[in-house]
Every structure is written in C-alpha cells, then in structure tokens.
Structure 1
Amino acid sequence: MTTTALPRPGTRRRTGLLATAAAMADATPADRNRVVDLLRAASILVVVTGHWLMAGMRVEDGQLVRDDVLEMAAWLHPLTWVLQVMPVFFLVGGYANALSWRSARSRGETYGGWLRARLRRLTLPVVPLMLFWAAFAPLASAVGLGDGFLRTTTAAALVPTWFLAAYVVVVALVPVTLAAWERLRWLSVGAALGAAALTDLVSIAGDLPAVGFLNYVFVWAGVHQLGYAWLDGALDSRARRGGLAALGAVVLVALVVWGPYAVSMVGVTEHGVNNAYPTRVTLFALGLLQAGVVLLAEPLLRALVAHRAAWTAVIVVNARIMTLYLWHFTAMGLVLAGSLLLGGVGLHRETLSPGWWTSRPLWLLVLTAVTLAVVAVMGTFEQPGADPRPAPAPLRPVLAVVGLCASLGVLADVGIVAAVAGGTVVNWWLPLLPVAVLLLGGIARAPRRGHPA
C-alpha cells in the first residue's frame, strides 16, 4: 500500500500535521490518481465506524456484556454489502503496490529491500499496540475491571491485526501475482476466483474448516489483482466497470440465495456459513461488485478530490491510516474502562432499544475524540525514518511475514485473556511474540541512544 509520505518527525512537530498536509496538497503532481488515496481513506473510515456501531456494549450486574448487533438484527445484514469495504482496501492496494513494485524494479531495487520497506510502513504501528496490551491487560485485571471487560476488549483488539496479516501476505506475493496478471491478464483473476470457490467446496462440503483459511490468500490476492487491472487500463470503459459490478452482484446473490452462505458479509454464526471467518468466495464476489461500483463513480470522486480542502483531508487520514485502523478498538476499550470505573455510565441501555439507538451519535463522538487522541500520540510510529541498512536477502522479510502471521494466529487462538478453572489468566507475554518477530526479522530495530528505531 502506498501512502502519502510526510516529512521527518522533527519537521512535522514544527509545522503541524495539518499545515504539512496542506503544503503537500499544493505540491501534488498532476498525474497522481487521487481517487486511490480517497478510496483507501474512506474504506478505513467506514470499517472503523461499522465496528463501533456493531458492538453492542452494556453493563449488567457490574460486568461488561457484548451483544452482537448483527446476530440480534438480521434485517441489518444487507447493509453489510455496503459496510464491508475491505475489498475496496485490497483493490486500491493492488493499484498502489503494482506502482511501487514496478518503480522498484526500474530502479534496480531488490525484492528483499522493497518488501522490508513495505513491511516497515505497514507493521511498525503494531509494535506499540502489542506493548500496550502486554502492560494494560494485567493492569486492567489488577484494578478489577472484570473478566467480561478483559475478554471483550482484548479479543476486539486482535481483529484489526488479522486483516493486516492477510494484507502483508498479499503484499509479499506482489511480484508473483503481478507477473501472473502481466502474462495472463483476466485469466489470472479467474484462476484466483476458481481457487477460492474450490477451497470453499472442500472446506464446507468436507467439513474441513482449516482448509477455508487458504482463502485469506486466494480471495484477497484475487481482489488485489483488480487493482492491477485498474492501473493498466483494463477497466477503463464504463461497460467493463458496469459488467464487473453486474457479475459480482449476480454471483453474490446466487451464493447467498441458493448457496449455504449468510447474507451478512460481516461474520455471523447463526444465519448460514460465516463469510468472514474464514474468508469465503462470497467476499470475492463482493469485491467484484464493489470494484465495479466505485470505478463507475471514479469521475465524480476525481472531481471531489480536485478541491484543495477535500484532498488535504484525504492526505491527513492516509498519513495516519494504519494507526487509526489498528487502534480504534483499543480506543473503545479505554472508553469502556472509564465507564466501568464510573459505575457503567452510559452503558445501561438495552442493545437495539430506542434509547440505545438515540445514544449512538454520542457514542461515536466520544469514541472519535478518544481515538484521535490516541492517534496523535501513536501516529509517529507510522512514519519511520530513513533506513540506511543494506537490502536484506529476500528470505529474511519473507520469514518475517510468516512469523508475523503465525504469532498473530497463536495470539488469536490462545488470547491475551484465557478462561481457566476458577477465573481467567492474563497471557501478558503473548503480545510480545509479534514484536519479537519484527525485531528478529529486521523489520523493527531496537532503539539506540541517538538513533531511534
């Protein structure tokens, strides 16, 4: 993913993020496709807002209880075809990553150096998040915030890291998938779609859920290739864009009407096959639909970001996009902790009751304020300084990708907070595994005096 680079931290502190972004907006090259940046920023903002709205949090008998809004309100499921916008994120990732890898090839940059640079930008914001939970989880347990709080907030904090893990795998495969696109064009996209469908067939019909996790690669790499098609002009005509949207809509409707899949594109468990965990072929179809729709709207979106104020706002969001994505659930956890310490203030309404709905604007406002404060503090990790080290052998960053996925998988499976006989245990050390992987893989560097990593 290519994002707008900001000046070094010292300059940013002197001028301020908004002023720097405004200056960068004025200096934007005329040939930059601003719609890519707009869609990236908008998709993450929709994801964050959707996560906050779908979390039905309330206090009962002094304990935090999480109600799954989508499980309780099936009438909301069709809305997830709009709110589940991770396919758009992978679409623009394909566009940006193809540009980046082709530029690196033209400069003679090695794959190892290119991948390490991409991983630094994407994964360094994970380090403070993991360190925070390694410290905060045992502290929350010590002050008596309750098992419900610990289980809910720690599990939620891991959700963004799972999609990040899938994304870095797709990034690591860019030289392979881009070569496949350049050689086979639409056959490569069809092959990814066929592999995703076959994976689901084996996984669902054979009751082999572990096989379904292969679609974290087949589905997202396939949607990622749509970004290659966009960049190379294979989707320039309105007919092709409309056809892509129509194909996605037809396949998606067929899968949820005549297939075993849930209507909701966000994970639910009681309404058919879960489409999100593991990722299913339905999300590939959704990606076709959404790609066609947003590309049909490209002229309007291009006109929008031609305005200086709108383009400056897009630059600001993209400058802190990974921090926002990784920390928005943790910011919600801080709000919930504050409420519990104050006796559950604001969390006594029944989920989906009229009072609950009318309180949503205030809920979003509070979460936004706390998240902005967190992003202001943690955002500097998203702009790593220049890396003077020689390019590594390709194996090292590839192993870092594998290790990051494995460590996050262990963390998700075991959990920071695990139930045991008579209560819970806080596995405070588990969040340190991804940090260790990034250090050993050469992605993160231990800080030295006068040389911050």
Structure 2
Amino acid sequence: MPRSFLAQARKVDEATPDSRSREVDFLRAAAITVVVLGHWTIIAVSATGGIEPHGLLDQARWTHPLTWVFQVMPIFFLVGGYSNALSWRSARRRQTGYAEWLRARLRRLGLPLIPLLLVWLATCVIALAVGAEPASVQLASQMALVPTWFLAAYLLVVIVAPPCLILWERWGWWSIIAGIGLAGIIDLISIVTESTLAGYPNYLLVWASFHQFGYAWLDGRLSSIRRCLLLFVIGAVGLGLLVGFGPYPVSMITAGTDTISNSAPTRVTMAFLGMAQAGIVLMLQRPLAKLLRSPGLWFLTVLVNQRIMTWFLWHLTALTALANVLIGLDADALLPTPLTGIWWLTRPLWALVLLAITGVLVAIFGRFETPAPDDRPAPPMWMPIAASAAICAGLAIMADTGMVNDRGVTWIWPVLPLVGMVAFGVVRLPGRRTAKS
C-alpha cells in the first residue's frame, strides 16, 4: 500500500475513541455495499432485451434462495436502531428537543437527495424534448430512483425512533413482539384481500419493530452468544415456516415471476430474515471488533461511511447511464446475453466500470453529505414532520413510477421533496442565520 494511505489510516485509527463501536460503522458500510453490488448483478442489460429490472431473478429461479443472504437491508435497520438510540439519548442529555433532533437527521439524509432529483428532472425534460420515448425515459428514471424507496422507509422509522425507544425502555422485548404481531395482521388483510395498498403500513410497522433490535444491541441485551443464537433460530425457523407453509415467496427481493413480493410492500418475512441475519452478525461481533483494529480496514470503513448516502443514491444512475449509452450505440459485443458463460465472466469487469462511474458521481455530489453546521433555533415540531411527509410521499411514488408518464414529466413528485425541504426548514437558506441565545 502507498505510504500516504498507511499514514492516513494510522492517523484516523489513533483519532478514533475507544468508546466507538467500529462494528456498527462497518456493518452499515458493508450492508450498503452488498446492496449496490447486488443491484448491479440482478439488473440484466442486453442489446435485445434492454434493461430488465429483475432480470437475474426472473430468468434463474435458483438464485432466489441466495437472496436470504444478499437481501441485507435488515442489517441497515439494525445498525440504524443502534445509531438512532445513541443519538436520541445524547440529545436528551443535552436537552435538545425532538424537532431540532429530527431536523438534523433530515439534513443528513435529505440534502444528498437534492442533486439527484435536480439532475434527473433535467435529464427527463431534455430527453423528452429531443424526442425520446416517454416509456424509455420513465423506465430510466424509475430504475435510477429505486434506492429512494429505502430512504422513504428509513425516514418513516427515524420519525418514530424516539417514541419507539420509550416503548423499548418500558416494555422491552414485548414492544418488538407486539409490533411484529400487528405487522402479521396487516399482511393477512393485504394478502387475503389481494390489496397491495393495504400492506403499505408495514413499511413502517415491520421496519420500526425490527429497528428496535438495534436498541437491544446498544443496551447489551444481545451481548451473549446464547441470545444471538436464539435470535437466529427464531428468525430462521419463522422465515422457513412462513415461506414453506405460507403464501410468501422464497425470494426476499422482488421478482417479476412472484405474485407476492416480500419487499414491496415490506412483509413480516423481512423481520424474521432480519432476526436470522442479526443473530449471525452479532455472534461475530467480537472477532469483527478485533479485525477492525486494523488501521487499513478501519480507514476504508470510515471513507465509505463519509459518502455512504451518495454512494447508495447514485449507484443505479451509473448503471442506467451506462446501459442506455451502450444500447444506444448498438454495442452488442459489450452486452452479452444474460446468464451465459461470458455474461458471468464479465460481471467483475461490469462492476468495476460501474464503480468508476459511481466514484466520479460521488466525487462531484458527495459534498452535499457534509452540510455546514446548523446553529438555527429549534423549529416548531410540525415543520420537520411536514418536511418528512413531503420527502417520503415524493420518494415513494417516484421509486415506483419514475418521473415520467405518457403525458410527460410528472413534476409534482420530484418537486414535492425539494419544496418540502426548503419550505419546512431542512435547507438552510442564505441570509437566515440566527445564533441560539
């Protein structure tokens, strides 16, 4: 390794306090990286079929069991629970109110969205103006904005994190059991009535309930191997029963061939998958902590976490852009038929090219992930809640439909989060600096 890298790695390592849980940062970075690499593999691109969002899963059902390993969004919510509980307890000690705390979380999560939405708005307007087919532009924008469904779900969980922490502190495990039980009832209603819309409350119920395992981790309630093993067994057995004897499909990632999706809307199966995964990773916590004492590995973890939102939000823009360029150039030789031998052999090269493109995007837009310090007075409580609602509503629709329909750009959905962040105080406007008294 270059000496400069090693020197910087040692400097970061020495500056990290012993009280910091390095495993939390590593698991966050690892989970998002697995999601990115998974998307780049699952989405099939060919000269004849174009962009197929579920290509690998639709064409190779043998890959469906592998999603039990590669669907790692539960790990992000586990880490989120740990971090949000730590953050809110710190805010309580400093006597920082809920509204100010939530605005700070929104700034960290919402500001990186601004360039993504503006770039795709401009792209859609220009593409339609030069005669591109609305269906093609709709697919491109929808594909690029798929990551925003997760951000919308995570923002919902952040909003309720403080009250959920109170429930955890008062009721312990029963708060999780009750939440997952209620999610099961929502699933039953949704599946029996064949109403996808009826299942939407589980975007909040499932993830908010599972998010509380992060509270348990922080409080040392999952520190023993025995408890972690029990958590794994409950998750694995519960998931096996739901898939084996229930209506749920094997794939934990949406496949076009399945009549029911485990992730859109989120089903109770995701909570049990998360339990199994959490049991495994927390059993490995001690050896992982020792491994992260390596300055090089810890430095890489810190680097990824510094730009993790940008890395996540832009990775499918990189794929969509490259795919459309190659298809537009009729570069058949660079787009082998999915699932053939040459296709599998070229997946590492495909990932490296996308990594380079995403790296450029991160270098350009990553600055939005480190906003200037915010010394404004605490806002009224309704303002960050209204901002959250505007962001979640816009993102949820765009992740499903993109920015375009057969009549042109659907301005309301991309503009709603942007206006919401400005109008409700997430974006700090020039000339409105007011120091706290």
TM-score by length of 1: 0.90
Q: Give yes or no for contact 1:18–1:316 (8 Å, CA) kept in 2.
A: no
| Amino acid paired to 1:358 | L
Give CA-to-partner distance per residue, 1:272-324, whole Å, 9 cap, x none: 52101100000000011011000011112111111100000000000000001
Equivalent of 2:24, from 33, 36, 58?
36
In structure 1, runs of 5+ residues without a counterpart are 1-15
Residue 393 of structure 1 aligns with which residue?
380
User: Aligned partners of 1:267, 1:431: CA distance in 2, in Å?
Assistant: 24
C-alpha separation between the residues in 2 aligned to 1:140 and 1:404? 25
Tell me what 1:8 maps to: none
Say what the alpha-carbon RMSD is for the aligned residues.
2.3
Q: Could you tell me how far 1:19 is from its partner in structure 2?
A: 7.9
Are 2:191 and 1:204 aligned? yes
Aligned to 2:12: 24
User: Where do 1:14-413 residues align within 5 Å?
Assistant: 23-60=11-48, 68-143=55-130, 146=133, 149-344=136-331, 346-412=333-399
- Tell which deviates more after alignment, 343-352 or 329-338: 343-352
- Paired residue secondary structure (1:57): strand
Stretch moving more, 154-163 or 250-259: 154-163
In structure 2, the CA distance between the partners of 1:144 and 1:348, relative to structure 1 (3 Å rule), is farther
Tell me the percent identity: 46
The alpha-carbon distance between structure 1 residues 21 and 202, as it changes in their structure 2 partners (threshold 3 A), is: farther
Post-superposition shift, 1:64? Answer: 5.2
CA distance in 1: counterparts of 2:433 and 2:177, whole angstroms: 52
Residues 153 and 329 of structure 1 are in contact (CA less than 8 Å); yes or no, is this contact kept in structure 2? Answer: no
Quote the Cα distance in structure 2 between the aligned partners of 1:277 and 1:18: 43
Matched to 1:123, the amino acid is: G
Which shifted more, 354-363 or 307-316?
Answer: 354-363
Residue range with higher mean Cα deviation, 247-256 or 339-348: 339-348
Shift of 1:146: 5.0
* CA shift for structure 1 position 406: 1.6
2:206 partner letter = V
The letter for the 2-side match of 1:226 is F
2:420 to 400, 420, 437: 437
CA distance in 1 between counterparts of 2:370 and 2:11 reads 17
- Paired residues in the alignment total 431
Q: How much does 1:339 deviate?
A: 1.8
Q: Secondary structure at the match of 2:261?
A: coil
Contact in 1 for aligned 2:318/2:357 (Cα 8 Å): yes
Asked whether the 8 Å contact 2:422–2:428 carries over to 1, the reply is yes
Q: Quick one: structure 1 residues 111 and 236, their matched pair in 2 at CA, closer, same or farther if it must change by over 3 Å? A: same
Contact 2:137–2:404 (CA<8 Å) still a contact in 1?
yes
Residue type matched to 1:182 in 2?
A: E
Secondary structure at the counterpart of residue 45 of structure 2:
strand
Does structure 1 retain, via aligned residues, the 8 Å contact 2:387–2:417?
no
C-alpha distance 326-21 of structure 1, shift in aligned 2 (>3 A): farther
Q: Is the 8 A contact 2:78 2:212 kept in 1?
A: yes
Q: Matched residues in 1 for 2:36 and 2:183: separation? A: 27
Cα distance, 1:58–1:33 mapped onto 2, change above 3 Å: same
For 1:98 and 1:133, how far apart are their aligned partners in 2? 34
Whole-angstrom distance in 2 between the partners of 1:255 and 1:227: 24
8 Å contact from structure 1 (residues 111, 394) kept in 2: yes
Q: Give 1:76 shift.
A: 0.2
Matches of 1:51 and 1:348, distance apart in 2: 17
Amino acid in the other structure paired with 2:216 = A
Task: Give the Å deviation of 1:87.
Answer: 0.2
Alpha-carbon offset, residue 329 of structure 1: 0.6
Superposition deviation, residue 390 in structure 1: 0.5
Separation of aligned partners in 2, 1:247 and 1:315: 33
Give the aligned partner of residue 402 of structure 2: 415
